[in-house]
Structure 1
Amino acid sequence: MRAQTASGEPAAAIGKVAVAPQYDSTHVYVAPDDADAFVKSFLGTFGGKSTPQVIVTVTPTPSRTSSQLLQTPVGMISLFGFRTPIPVPFGSERNGYLVTDMDTAIRKARAAGADVLVTPFPDAIGVDAIVQWPGGVNMQLYWHTKAPSYPPLPHIPENRVYVSEDRAASFVTAFLQFSGGHVDSDEKVPGSVIGKTDGTIRRIRITSDFGKMVVFVTDGHLVYPYGAETTGYEVDDLPATLTKAQAQGVTVLAAPAAIDGRKSAMVRFPGGYVAEIHQTNP
């Protein structure tokens, strides 16, 4: 890692930290006994493969967890099944972003207004840290000693973020400064996109070298399962995907609905992981 520069350096001056969407993963925590069922159901739904399950320490303080990486055409999953109590704040981070250099990423995150909840610490393959953005959005940052090489994804997943009106502007500004991304759209859309029966909400779509993000600005009056999901997965054929999912023990929590240019459903995988799955209309 490189030495840090003085604090307060403008985020835009620090340089690019994102690698590419195929290196970013959603973090999923399940009970150890549910890990195999989750892997079977997720890969059975989307295809792909898993690395071998290993028992390791992935925190800077003593702990033990099973760990494996699921690589699929719709995105990656970092799966953890802790054998010991989970040290705070692990388990609260929604995803992990691979960065070009950890010190650069931490400097840029701080300059953009993030709180570094867990300062960088070594693991078996590199360095990790956890940051929190305005609005209480936690993410893990990775840096690998040996750079991985994965092909681009056929479908880039959405990082689905829910924030309050009070913190929406601060969150978007901070994340854009950190990621070097841009806003694709910022508009009022039917509340039905997050399960509301009436009214509208504000939805902000962001693209960066980390991938896609959709930010829902709400009053917090959410109907389960909306807000429980962290990731949305795009597929070519939603009905066929849901048929495969249900055959693997996945529960459909919100039936497919045609809303705002896509067909979307909400599901829960064995172990409790909730996700959105969608097909974009032609």
Structure 2
Amino acid sequence: MPVETAFAGSAHPQVGVGSQYDTSHVYVDPDKVDAFVSSFLATFGGASTKQAVATLTPTPSSTTTQLLQTPVGTVSLFGFKTPIPYPFGYERTGYLVTDMDKAIAAARAAGASVVVSAFPDPIGRDAVIQWPGGVNMQLYWHTTKPSYAALETVPENRVYISPDAASAFVRDFLAFSKGKVVSDDGKAPGVEIGRPNDTFRRIRIESIYGRMTVLVTDGHLPYPYGREMTGYEVSDLAETRDKAKASGAKVLVDPFTSGKRQSAIVEFPGGYVAEIHAPSAQ
């Protein structure tokens, strides 16, 4: 089914800030945190904030927390020392917003459900929302306005979704983000989801929150497709792959070329699976 290529208008203001504030949420066991940090930064560059221990959920819990800032994307890293309260761990990203109450109102108006109502954390407020198809995202707001350098390349949020929910998801996310569809390919090469003899629908979206690739599939996905929630753009895929391998990451999918990009999938220490891609002349 066709979807709108841009948001249809909304009485709600733009509440997004910028893609450098959009963090991939990564949960690893506490004893794997340091190995993950070392490998991820060795692969992409950048630095980590000082590790802290805090309660970041509305019910009692304890986790190590730190922010990894790289030229190709930002990671919020959690190493829970206690069991993780539901539904935390299922949200893929954190989006910085200018006003939490306005952001929640805008999300609801666009069709999202609020699955965790706004709650305070040590440096601001958070909430978790869910879009059609069961796509969870966290919204966050800081008491002290942060100031991060712009990214060299903008990562993509990789959303795997069923044909039943795809149009509703895209429509609602566009209404919230005030973004646009930059491509909608109903016959994208199946090699991109591990099925080289098939095709699937691939939708690419851009907004203030960054890039998103919506992969509309029947759910017949060979491992590890669907496990990678973020795709990172680099200038040299082979070099980045080698850095990842040398720092303890596993290459799960060797580089291949499709859709004007070279892509690979790697698993970092602690189990975080990520797609890495570079532009191709194809």
TM-score, normalised to structure 2's length?
Answer: 0.96
Native 8 Å contact 1:232 1:277 kept in 2: yes
Moved over 2 A (4+): none
Equivalent residue for 2:4? none
Q: How many residues end up aligned between the 2 structures?
A: 273
User: Which one-letter code corresponds to 1:37 in the other structure?
Assistant: A
Q: In structure 2, what is the equivalent of residue 89 of structure 1?
A: 87
Q: 1:141 aligns with which of 139, 142, 147?
A: 139
Separation in 2, partners of 1:215, 1:180: 16
CA distance in 2, matches of 1:197, 1:247: 29
Code of the residue aligned with 2:20 in structure 1: it is Q
Instruction: Provide the C-alpha distance between the structure 2 equivalents of 1:12 and 1:196, rounded to a whole number of angstroms.
Output: 39
Residue 5 of structure 1: aligned partner? none
Q: Over residues 50-91 of structure 1, what are the superposed CA-to-partner deviations in whole Å (9 max), with x where a residue is unaligned?
A: 001111000000000000000000100000000000000000
Of the three residues 21, 26, 35, the one matched with 1:23 is 21
- 2: CA distance between counterparts of 1:260 and 1:180? 25
Amino acid at match of 1:260: G
Aligned to 1:239: 238
Tell me the distance in 2 between the aligned counterparts of 1:14 and 1:168: 23
Measure, in 2, the Cα distance between the counterparts of 1:112 and 1:14.
9
Q: Which residue identity does 1:89 align to in structure 2?
A: P
Question: Shift of the alpha carbon at 1:258?
Answer: 1.1
Counterpart in the other structure of 1:206: 205
1:179–1:209 CA contact under 8 A, matched in 2: yes
Q: Is the CA contact 1:11–1:112 (under 8 Å) kept in the aligned structure 2?
A: no
Q: Which moved more, 1:30-39 or 1:147-156?
A: 147-156
SS in structure 2 opposite 1:197?
coil
Partners in 2 of 1:168 and 1:110 — Cα distance?
18
1:199 CA drift (Å): 1.5
User: CA separation of 1:11/1:33 partners in 2, compared to 1, >3 Å: closer, same or farther?
Assistant: farther
SS at match of 1:13: coil
Structure 1 CA distance for aligned equivalents of residues 84 and 244 of structure 2:
29
Matches for 1:128-167 after TM superposition, within 5 Å: 128-167=126-165
| Alignment of structure 1 residues 116-127 onto 2, 5 Å | 116-127=114-125
Match of 1:104 in 2: 102
SS, match of residue 128 in structure 1: strand
Quote the residue 2:5 is aligned against.
none
Instruction: State the distance in 2 between where 1:11 and 1:162 align.
Output: 26
Distance of 1:21 and 1:201 partners within structure 2: 27
CA–CA separation in structure 1 for the residues paired with 2:267 and 2:9: 38
SS of the residue 1:224 aligns to: coil
Whole-angstrom distance in 2 between the partners of 1:272 and 1:12: 40
Write the distance in 2 (CA, Å) between the matches of 1:256 and 1:221.
21
Equivalence for 1:273: 272
Partners of 1:199 and 1:242 in 2: CA distance: 26
Tell me if 1:181 matches 2:151: no
* Structure 1 position 197, deviation (Å): 2.5
**Aligned residue for 2:224?**
225
| Alignment deviations for residues 194-227 of structure 1 (CA, whole Å, 9 cap, x no partner) | 1113111000000000000000000000011010
Contact 1:131 1:141 in 2 (8 A): yes
5+ unaligned residues in a row in structure 2: which ranges? 1-7
Secondary structure of 1:171's partner? helix
1:250 partnered with 2:258: no
Q: 2 CA distance for matches of 1:165 and 1:241? A: 34
Partner of 1:35: 33
Letter in 2 for 1:220: G
The unaligned stretches of length 5 or more in structure 1 are 1-9
Aligned residue for 1:7?
none
| Cα RMSD for the two superposed structures | 0.9
Q: Distance between the aligned counterparts of 2:200 and 2:216, measured in 1?
A: 6
Is this contact kept in 2: 1:11–1:178, CA < 8 A? Answer: no
* Secondary structure of 2:10 counterpart: helix
Q: Kindly state the Cα deviation for residue 281 of structure 1 after the two structures are TM-superposed.
A: 1.4
Over the matched positions of the two proteins, sequence identity in percent amounts to: 63
